[in-house]
Amino acid sequence: MTEVKLAVLGGSGAGKSALAVRFLTRRFIGEYASNAECIYTKHLCLDGRQIHLEIYDPCSQPQRGKLSLTDELHWADGFIIVYDISDRASFAFAKALLYRIRESHIGACKKMVESSLFLVGNKQDLCHMREVGWDEGQKLAMDNKCQFCELSAAEHCQEVMAMFTKVLRNITSNFKVKEKRRPSGSKSMAKLINNVFGKRRKSV
């Protein structure tokens, strides 16, 4: 069983929870409590490989102030950064998140970091209220050497499924070229992360 830990990050109202739940259950739920973080867990089979997936969905992150992301950066194998195409502030926040993640991985293998990052412009169904152009999202992704797509968690179930599947394939392919995913002696860090992220777990 391969364990994969995925963090879905973004500003308040960008649709992080909607995307995660759409992938895990194929259902769309428009409203979520924004004051509670949780980890969704699911067993699935990908390309013949059994995977135990954990998706970290934080409570709404402040769009102002310093981004530490310390726990997320140690915990996650990959990141999906979400912004709302009808909210330019959420796009600016996504840009700051990408910068923080890449900055923290300067000493790591760049190709592994890049393939584990995915930028998502959500709420494509609100094109009539668009504040962020597709070309802007594409340029931000190219500047950060990560993958990019625009979709709608509300309307594009297959696109959401395909995006998450692509991320998982990239992460698991990275595992194949690593002898060990994390250094030995990391039990204290694992315990710390569990204390931080283990408060609310939902099996889907």
Residue 30 has pLDDT above 80, yes or no: no
Residue 184 has pLDDT above 80, yes or no: no
CATH of the domain at 78: 3.40.50.300
Q: What is the pTM for the complete model shown?
A: 0.81
Tokens of 152: 């709608």
Query: What does the CA dihedral 97, 53, 148, 35 come to, rounded to 10 degrees?
Result: -40
- Report the C-alpha gap between 19 and 157 in whole angstroms: 9
Q: Specify if 53 maps to a domain.
A: yes
Domain count, the chain: 1
- Report the C-alpha gap between 185 and 195 in whole angstroms: 17
Q: Specify if 203 maps to a domain.
A: no
What percent of the chain is modeled with pLDDT above 90? 55
Between 133 and 179, where is the model more confident? 133
Q: Please tell me the number of Cα atoms within 13 Å of 194 on its side-chain side.
A: 6
- Model pLDDT, residue 107: 52
The long-range contacts involving 179-182, CB below 8 angstroms and separated by at least 24 positions, are: 181/77
Q: Specify if 57 maps to a domain.
A: yes
- Report the C-alpha gap between 36 and 150 in whole angstroms: 26
Return all residues near 160 (Cβ < 8 A) that are at least 6 apart: 19, 22, 23, 151, 153
- Model pLDDT, residue 204: 58
49-57/38-46 β-pairing: antiparallel
51-94 pLDDT, tens digit per residue, is: 999 999 886 555 444 456 777 788 899 999 999 999 999 999 99
- Report the C-alpha gap between 138 and 151 in whole angstroms: 13
Q: Which helix (H) or strand (E) holds 192?
A: helix 187-197
Positive or negative, the Cα torsion across 95, 96, 101, 107? Answer: positive
Of 58-62, 121-125, 139-143, the one with minimum mean pLDDT is 58-62
Report phi then psi at 191, rounded to 5.
Answer: -65, -40
- Model pLDDT, residue 180: 47
- Cβ atoms within 10 Å of 165's Cβ, excluding its own: 14
Q: Specify if 204 maps to a domain.
A: no
Between 18 and 69, where is the model more confident? 18
Residue 176 has pLDDT above 80, yes or no: no
Mean pLDDT of 134-157: 95
Positive or negative, the Cα torsion across 47, 77, 75, 164? Answer: negative
- Domain ranges, residue 35: 2-198
